[in-house]
Amino acid sequence: MMDLKKTDAPVTTVTYNRNEIDAPTDNIYEAISVIAKRAEQINTDIRRELIDKLDEFATYNDSLEEIFENKEQIEVSKFYEKLPKPHALAVKEWLDDKIYHRNTEDTQE
């Protein structure tokens, strides 16, 4: 898993140069497909990490009258809410040439 605190992926909408996106594949649709698959992986990793961290601070109580806010869980949630979205992280990785990809059609002869 990447270090989410050190990423410089944008947290707001960014317009990218199409030529930069499709340069590694010469096909914009293939590039977007690879980025989308990576974004799904990142989203799964982040969700798993968030659930694990929230569980660390969970307090299990059978009484509904004793519901209270867990400050640690709130802080963890706020940290994850402020992170760049998975697709922004995937695009950043793509542009930094950190995603391994290959065209399977090229290898089947």
CB 54 within 8 Å of CB 76: yes
Answer whether residue 9 is part of any domain.
Answer: no
Answer whether residue 8 is part of any domain.
Answer: no
Retrieve residue 8's tokens: 């410089």
3-state secondary structure of 22: helix
Q: Which residues of the chain have pLDDT under 50?
A: 109
Answer whether residue 74 is part of any domain.
Answer: yes
108 CB neighbour count, 10 Å cutoff: 6
User: Which residue in 88, 1, 6, 90 sits closest to 47, CA to CA?
Assistant: 1
- Structural domain boundaries, residue 47: 18-56+69-102
Could you tell me the pTM of the whole model?
Answer: 0.80
Answer whether residue 92 is part of any domain.
Answer: yes
Answer whether residue 12 is part of any domain.
Answer: no
CB 89 within 8 Å of CB 7: yes
Answer whether residue 4 is part of any domain.
Answer: no
Answer whether residue 38 is part of any domain.
Answer: yes
3-state secondary structure of 26: coil
Q: What pLDDT is attached to residue 87?
A: 95
Give the number of C-alpha atoms closer than 13 A to the C-alpha of residue 40, restricted to the C-beta side: 5
Looking at the 3D structure of the chain, how many domains does it have? 1
Answer whether residue 39 is part of any domain.
Answer: yes
